[in-house]
Structure 1
Amino acid sequence: MIPSARLQAALELLGDVDSAARPADAVISSWLRSRRKMEDSDRGKVLDLLAELLRARARLDWWLDRLGRSDTSRNRLLAFLVLAEGRTPEQVKRLFNGGRFAPAALTEREHALLVKLRGSTLVHPAMPDDVRLECPDWASEPLRQRFGDSFETEMAALLSPPTLDLRVNTLKASRDGVLRELTDIGVRAETSTRAPQGLRVRESLSLARLAPLKRGEIEIQDEGSQLVALLVDARPGDRVVDFCAGAGGKTLAIAAQMNNKGRIIACDVSEGRLKRSAERFRKAGVHNAETRLLASETDRWVKRHKGGFDRVLVDAPCSGTGTWRRNPDARWRATQEQGLDALVALQARILASAARLVKPGGRLVYATCSMLSRENEEQVAAFLAAHPDFEALPLRDTAPHLATLAEGDHLSLTPARHDTDGFFAAVLQRAETAATRHPAQEPA
């Protein structure tokens, strides 16, 4: 594929992402399925360019507004080629030539835009800090409160490309064996620093090269997500619920901890996500997992199984601030202040309802991929105040080898400090003899 054709492909994909209500990763998956014959190298270049465009959105839009231009996908791409890649207007004109598979030829107004941008870079001295750091208005103040003097460092880390992290499925393979196979095919992989079954790949590559992935021997999973699953501490023979299982990534990790013994139930309100998780279970050789579709967080199934499980994981829906380097479009899709209020209220309802499933002496793990205190520490504090039969277990006691990753009692990961996605997790334990609750504390 010639460079101009790759630009046209990226332009089409950017337009699809901008216009769709779905997250970028879902749009990309559909786009790739319709272009199965595209060469791996071309696919990689197009997706890398798209990611860079999404990471630079606020800065590109600032420049376009400064010059009185609309923030269309095409204008963003044109501005990016000059500001980020340092191309001259003449070089861009040769790429936007109107030929077959190439972008349409430049208009006079577009050429004038390139001329005005010539010699500039993405960052301008007059650019506000939040624009320069690609931080949306709704998240700026809570993130500044959370990180203080480290705010800029943390935001800058969220603008870097993520690593490719893998979890070895011990039901089918060993980490050493997979590492040797990847090394043999020329993939530069290394063992993860903290996750005992993790591998990290520090290069951009086509997933089609990873034969262990096709065989279900590895899963793509950020190291931070692997650590959250470890905190569940599920043992062979346990009864476990993954209450907001999604497509089942953490369920798979927990099933491997249990060595396929016992029972784990993956719950979600999305039938589509549960169907995808069931397919992943089969591929991974997981036999002790089943799915359960819930009508809501207070589905009657929860009441019927009250106090019946050793471990319950609540990986709650959240603002996703910790995943911005991996999902750069998410910062602009989510959550204005009213939306954050609604999310926090939903998290509280989910946590209170899921807690009913925990048996006396059992463990409840609350996790998010957010870095906002309202969704994390404040949420846990409110839950504990309303549920005296639960207590927080310090990370130094539940996972001493991860104690350096704690803020207070809880796991707290950020891209800048730990080179993972941003994750929070609190381990809560129910008293051996559950305290009697006031009826108002019992979800319907």
Structure 2
Amino acid sequence: MTPAARLSAAIDLLCAIQSAPRRPADATANAFFRDRRYIGGGDRRAVSAMVWDVLRGWRRLHWHLRETHGEISPRLLCAASALLSGMNMDVVRQLFSGERYAQSPLTSREDIALKDLEGKQLSSRQQTLAVRLEYPDWIEKTLKETFGPRLEDEMAAMLGTPTLDLRVNLLKADRDKALDALRRESLKAVPTKLSPWGLRLDGRQPVTATQAFRDGLIEIQDEGSQLVVAAVGATPQHKVVDYCAGAGGKTLALAMTMNNRGRITACDVHDKRLAGAEKRLRRAGVHNAEAHLLVTGDKWAKRHSASFDRVLVDAPCSGTGTWRRNPDARMRLTPQDIEELVVKQSEILDRAASLVKPGGRMIYATCSLLACENGQQIDAFLKRRADFRRVPKEEMSDLLPAELREKAQFSLTPLRDETDGFFACVMERIVEPKVEAPKAEEPIAEADPAT
């Protein structure tokens, strides 16, 4: 594709994303490229990069175009992004040439709106902190509760381009073998710093097209997500439930730590997600896991009450920890979403807790940065359930790196840990001490009246 054709495709994709505001942008992009299979891999990555640059700079771009009369269209946003990235106005005008596969020429209104942006930077000290760091105004107070004086540095790290993290499937390969397999396909990965099974690639790479992926040697999984699995500490002797399994990423990793033994039940309320999980399990060579669809009136939980050694609750959350990866989520999130999620998380915790056997563990995790979804949620649960406690640090899973075994819960951020934002807490269901029935007292012998 020519540069003009790539720009035109980026504008079309951005239009598609805007027309489905409640749908994740990556889902829209997948459908967009699936319908245009003639667009090659390199062009797809270039088009996606343009669109994601716009999504990452959404509030700042609108700030620069705030005095524009009329609609701030995908055309304007893509052109402004190019100019604020260093392109000059003459080149931008050429990209809007109106020739084959190119967008129609800029209108006089568009030209006027854009020409003053040449030579300027996307970020400006004249912008408010929320605009400059690309988060909604209403969430600033909540973010300050989480980060305090580190807010600006932490949120600046959220503006970066995420790495592509992989998890080696130890059921089929070790890390060296996976590295060699990727190297043979011209993908240079490096080991991750914290996860013992992780590999890292820069930027978007065609991993799913590799033989290593097709053979199940590797899975795409952020290092932070891998560390949540490490916190579970599941072994071949355990019976485990992945309560909010989704597409099965953590189920796959749990099967690996269990060496394909024991038993895993992957639960979710979405049948399509579970169907996708089952396909991934087969490709990875997992045969100690089964899927269960949670439906209203289901008796499964009652039948399995207090029967699992480990219960992983990867709760639905705001996803604020994945804003590097899903910048469009910043625009979709509302205060009402947070209120509803906090209630849902609390309900899920209470239901999942009934599955944990005495002495067993429940691991609560989110990909959220917000205290109300993380530590505050755990504090409230432990007040409701006196039969649970945070696990002492000396009993944390030895699969975790030493720096994360300091206490029963930990948080990860892009700035400090170079992962997505994650939270995890390990809790144990207390074994009730056995109380022996008191022995019957011996009757006191009465004196013989004859003596």
TM-score, normalization by structure 1: 0.93
Give the superposition deviation at 1:69: 4.4
Deviations 1:129-180 (A, max 9, x none): 1100001123211111211111011101111011111001111111111112
Distance 1:25 1:6, change over 3 A: same
Give the match's secondary structure for 1:81: helix
Pairs within 5 Å for 1:145-294: 145-294=145-294
Partner of 1:429: 428
- Identity among equivalent positions (%) equals 48
Contact 1:394 1:410 in 2 (8 A): no
Contact 2:162 2:203 in 1 (8 A): no
Partner of 1:142: 142
- Counterpart CA distance in 2 for 1:378 and 1:291 is 31
- Counterpart CA distance in 2 for 1:173 and 1:210 is 15
- Counterpart CA distance in 2 for 1:109 and 1:295 is 54
Partner of 2:325: 326
Partner of 1:351: 349
1:339 partner letter: D
2:42 partner letter: S
Give the match's secondary structure for 2:116: helix
Give the superposition deviation at 1:399: 3.6
Contact 1:133 1:152 in 2 (8 A): yes
Give the superposition deviation at 1:405: 3.7
- Counterpart CA distance in 1 for 2:433 and 2:386 is 9
Contact 1:384 1:391 in 2 (8 A): yes
Deviations 1:280-312 (A, max 9, x none): 11111111111111125x843212211111110
Contact 1:396 1:409 in 2 (8 A): no
Partner of 1:438: none
1:263 partner letter: R
Give the superposition deviation at 1:22: 1.2
Distance 1:308 1:163, change over 3 A: same
Count, aligned residues: 432
1:133 matched to 2:133? The reply is: yes
Partner of 1:363: 361
1:106 matched to 2:110? The reply is: no
Give the match's secondary structure for 2:66: helix
Contact 1:413 1:421 in 2 (8 A): yes
Deviations 1:305-325 (A, max 9, x none): 111111100000001110000
Contact 2:393 2:406 in 1 (8 A): no
Give the match's secondary structure for 2:349: helix
1:374 matched to 2:372? The reply is: yes
Distance 1:396 1:8, change over 3 A: farther
Contact 1:169 1:219 in 2 (8 A): yes
- Counterpart CA distance in 2 for 1:288 and 1:434 is 33
Partner of 2:25: 24
Partner of 2:337: 339
- Counterpart CA distance in 1 for 2:185 and 2:164 is 17
Give the match's secondary structure for 2:135: coil
Give the match's secondary structure for 1:66: coil
Give the superposition deviation at 1:116: 2.6
Give the match's secondary structure for 1:111: helix
Distance 1:180 1:419, change over 3 A: same
- Counterpart CA distance in 2 for 1:394 and 1:327 is 35
Partner of 1:67: 68
Match of 1:387 among 374, 385, 388: 385
Contact 2:195 2:401 in 1 (8 A): no
Contact 1:360 1:434 in 2 (8 A): no
- Counterpart CA distance in 2 for 1:137 and 1:305 is 45
- Counterpart CA distance in 2 for 1:358 and 1:115 is 63
The runs of 5 or more residues in structure 1 that have no matched partner are: 436-444
- Counterpart CA distance in 2 for 1:402 and 1:346 is 31
Deviations 1:318-340 (A, max 9, x none): 01110000111111112x22221
- Counterpart CA distance in 1 for 2:287 and 2:190 is 29
Give the superposition deviation at 1:209: 5.0
Deviations 1:316-375 (A, max 9, x none): 0001110000111111112x2222111000000000000000011101000000011000
- Counterpart CA distance in 1 for 2:405 and 2:172 is 32
- Counterpart CA distance in 2 for 1:359 and 1:405 is 25
- Counterpart CA distance in 2 for 1:303 and 1:402 is 36
Contact 1:307 1:358 in 2 (8 A): yes
4+ aligned runs moved over 6 Å, structure 1: none
Deviations 1:84-108 (A, max 9, x none): x222222111101112211122111
Distance 1:208 1:320, change over 3 A: closer
Contact 1:182 1:188 in 2 (8 A): yes
Contact 2:235 2:257 in 1 (8 A): yes
Partner of 2:445: none
Partner of 2:415: 416
The runs of 5 or more residues in structure 2 that have no matched partner are: 435-451
Distance 1:291 1:434, change over 3 A: farther
Distance 1:218 1:365, change over 3 A: same
Partner of 1:116: 116
